[in-house]
Structure 1
Amino acid sequence: MTRRPVVAAAAAAVVISPVLLAGCTEKGSSEGAIAVTSTADACDLATTEATTGNVDFAITNSGDKVTEFYVYGNNNRVLGEVENIGPGLSGNLTVEIVEPGTYTVACKPGMVGTGIRTELNVGGERKEKADVPADVTAAKAQYLEYVRNQLNTLHAQTTSFVDSVKKGDLDAARAQFGLTRTPYERIEPVAESFPDLDPAIDMRWDDTEDGTQPFTGFHRLERFLWPPQPAEIGDAAGQITPSDAANAKATDNPQAIAEIADGLLANVTRLRDSVSKPDFEFETLSFVKGPQALIDEVAATKVDGEEDRYSHTDLWDIAANLDGSETAIATMQPIISAKNPALMDKITAQFTTARDSVNRYRNGDGYVSYIEVTPEQRKELSTQIDALSATLSQVPGIVLQQ
């Protein structure tokens, strides 16, 4: 899921604990945890003081919208998160904080906007990071090589796509759109660790707080290339809201779009260069949870046609999320197979089922418009995705088991 940027004040390093994983439950939570209550207009912590070591959070959504909870570290990096906490539900998160300092946490009711932020003051002495198994570290290094290759491809394809947009060759740009986005969709867990770049590149209209925040990135260009049509405007899932359509009519002109295109390429370049740095760190828990996170992206924003609501190129994104998830699992396959071969066999079979379903909609080198996929077919795909997500939820515990 794309995110709006949040300004963090943290100046120290955080490492996600590889032992205690984030999750959502119907009732609240961890003994000794900092209780967090999220409502429509508040993010209340029982205490804003903590000590270095494992810091537990028990988040309760007392509002009427789905919420998220984040922990931010140095350079505004997302270092821990719990997403999709429904009204009345709870989520737990543990982060290992090894440096004393001031950190930022945020609740995001409605999963949009900059979030409701609170500072967390962490005292105590500096501690050593918890050990991560050597085979997991090696798998993560292999995965990051894949990510860097994908970002090189993303940069090259975005350069060509932006050139087509700015030259006014809109037919070429439309033909390039799905393919250009594919590398980004494959590596979203890494991109989402940059809370300024991810929304700038991949935000949707929903993330603009109904137009009060700038609308940038791929989907702003998508809207220009496929202007909202009267039959597509409405408030149902996958439709274009009236305010979105009105904003498109008022602001989507060649001059403004050229600036958006330049901004997209600049942000893709920044993302590529940031991840390419030798000292780039990707949190281990984010890595082992990545395969499920990518599949949950399909369930949250793609099966209903919400992601590419103007172009209906959602099948490109779904296929790319499957690609990225399966590749991440491939780097961990020796670990999973050694510890739980039956689980690895089940994961492989479920990937095959989901992949076969998506491949039914191949059209030449691409995919048919998502509007050609019937509600019944979408339901079938959704069921397969949900089953795969449930199985992948077991991966972090298996992989990080000492």
Structure 2
Amino acid sequence: MRPLRLSAVTAAATVAALTAVTGCTEKSSAKGGDGVIEVTATDTTCEVSKKEFPAGHVELAVENKGSKVTEVYLLFPDDRVVAERENIGPGTRQKVTAEVKAGDYRIACKPGMKGDGIRQDVTATGTGKAVEHDPRLDKAVAAYREYAQEQADATIPQAETFAKAIKDGDIEAAKKAYAPSRIGWERTEPVAESFGDIDPKVDVREDGLEDGQDPEKDWTGWHRLERSLWKDGKLTDHDSALADQLVKDLQDWRSRVGRAEITPTSMANGAKELLDEVATGKVTGEEERYSHTDLVDFKGNVEGAEKSYELLKPVAAENDPALAKELDKQFAALNTLLDQYREDKNGYDFVSYDKVGKDERKELSDAVNALAEPLSRLAAAVVK
């Protein structure tokens, strides 16, 4: 779950208006090849080296010259996410490889990882023909789409069980059903988040609400119900209505999965995004601050990332054997570490995260970081 979502900007806004309003400016000359866009982020600007580039594989070469941690997004005009990279520290560089068809897009920088983002309109030029893939990559995309649909399908009955317990006023049954209802979502979160409007409805935390939103009126989804169950210790008619809305919103998500934009690079970038989710929400204990079921979410994120990698591995291992070897090693190490916190051998009952000490959290964080770095290079490996 992203702490804050990018809000929509009207499609009719001109480049000049964006520049005037947001401080987003264009560099005078481009660096690198035709498919490379240099993105320079500061605390107040988001400079891009070019506003037009050929459709196909594009690389965002991001440098954060600001004092705040930032995020960079490549977006469709309606705010669906093509690719993103979070947690870009001051003075650091990141590369994001994506696949785009001809059309209009936006690049957005989010200094401090808050607010609407500083945006720039850009255009991919060309015929709009699909990129020619290695047939193994097309097979990987098809398999991943099937996997994402399976996870969405499996989530609905789990969510319905959770909602029924809420409406029955059965707090203990609802607590038991809460974490299992989230596993399918956590495994495929980048696909769900790519739609833009579903994540804020079902998975936002209170501190992720937009300015002006009322937590008592506008906050919906799992974490609002989590607060009722674990912090408030009571369920109301409003909670029953929220439970019904959660199921409805998740059914909407399930109906859209088949139309999601999925490419080999989006799969690879999505795997990295899942590790970012772990680093920024699960390891810190912020995600499940009332239920302390963070390790269930943690495991779901890791499983989803590993699924993407395993499907892409035949090509990645051929193009970059050393990278594949490192990823195999780091996935195994992280899974072994997580298994130490299981309360059953094969299921999803994990130790309550408030029982995990500071040193153990540091160990988990180090293992996530050790995997995240090579995983950030997976997208480039599959398009070599």
Report the TM-score, using the length of structure 1 for normalisation: 0.78
Structure 2 residue matching 1:362: 3-state secondary structure:
coil
Post-superposition offset of 1:201: 1.6
User: 1:233-262: CA deviations, max 9, x gaps?
Assistant: xxxxxxxxxxxxxxxxxxx96233223222
The aligned residue for residue 111 of structure 1 is 113
The aligned residue for residue 223 of structure 1 is 227
For residues 30 and 253 of structure 1, the distance between their equivalents in structure 2, rounded to whole angstroms, comes to 58
Structure 2 residue matching 1:76: 3-state secondary structure:
coil
Structure 1 residue matching 2:196: 3-state secondary structure:
coil
- AA aligned opposite 1:300: T
Q: Which runs of 5+ in 2 are unaligned?
A: 13-29
User: 1:96-144: CA deviations, max 9, x gaps?
Assistant: 654344x44433333234x135451538654434322221111111111
Give yes or no for contact 1:8–1:73 (8 Å, CA) kept in 2. no
Post-superposition offset of 1:268: 0.8
Q: Which runs of 5+ in 1 are unaligned?
A: 12-28, 230-251
Structure 2 residue matching 1:132: 3-state secondary structure:
coil
Structure 2 residue matching 1:256: 3-state secondary structure:
helix
Percent of aligned pairs with the same amino acid: 35
Give yes or no for contact 1:52–1:127 (8 Å, CA) kept in 2. no
The aligned residue for residue 20 of structure 1 is none
Give yes or no for contact 1:8–1:104 (8 Å, CA) kept in 2. no
- AA aligned opposite 1:396: A
Match for 1:398 among 365, 381, 384?
381
For residues 329 and 46 of structure 1, the distance between their equivalents in structure 2, rounded to whole angstroms, comes to 30
Closer, same or farther: CA 46–186 of 1 in aligned 2, 3 Å: closer
- AA aligned opposite 1:176: A
Which one is further off, 69-78 or 92-101? 92-101
Match for 1:258 among 228, 231, 240?
240
Give yes or no for contact 1:105–1:118 (8 Å, CA) kept in 2. yes
Closer, same or farther: CA 400–52 of 1 in aligned 2, 3 Å: closer
Structure 2 residue matching 1:68: 3-state secondary structure:
strand
Match for 1:300 among 280, 287, 295?
280
Closer, same or farther: CA 328–373 of 1 in aligned 2, 3 Å: same
For residues 50 and 310 of structure 2, the distance between their equivalents in structure 1, rounded to whole angstroms, comes to 40
- AA aligned opposite 1:347: L
Report the TM-score, using the length of structure 2 for normalisation: 0.81
Give the alignment's Cα RMSD to 1 decimal. Answer: 3.1
User: 1:304-354: CA deviations, max 9, x gaps?
Assistant: 111111111011011111211222222223334444555434333322221
The aligned residue for residue 322 of structure 1 is 302
Post-superposition offset of 1:270: 0.9
For residues 321 and 126 of structure 2, the distance between their equivalents in structure 1, rounded to whole angstroms, comes to 42
The aligned residue for residue 367 of structure 1 is 350
Post-superposition offset of 1:210: 6.5
Which one is further off, 324-333 or 162-171? 324-333
Match for 1:286 among 266, 290, 300?
266
Closer, same or farther: CA 144–180 of 1 in aligned 2, 3 Å: same
Post-superposition offset of 1:33: 3.8
For residues 56 and 9 of structure 1, the distance between their equivalents in structure 2, rounded to whole angstroms, comes to 26
- AA aligned opposite 1:152: D
Which one is further off, 388-397 or 301-310? 388-397
Match for 2:88 among 65, 68, 85?
85
Structure 1 residue matching 2:179: 3-state secondary structure:
helix
Closer, same or farther: CA 322–121 of 1 in aligned 2, 3 Å: closer
The aligned residue for residue 23 of structure 1 is none
The aligned residue for residue 180 of structure 2 is 179
Closer, same or farther: CA 59–329 of 1 in aligned 2, 3 Å: closer
Closer, same or farther: CA 318–338 of 1 in aligned 2, 3 Å: same
Alignment coverage as a number of residue pairs:
356
Give yes or no for contact 1:201–1:268 (8 Å, CA) kept in 2. yes
The aligned residue for residue 206 of structure 1 is 207
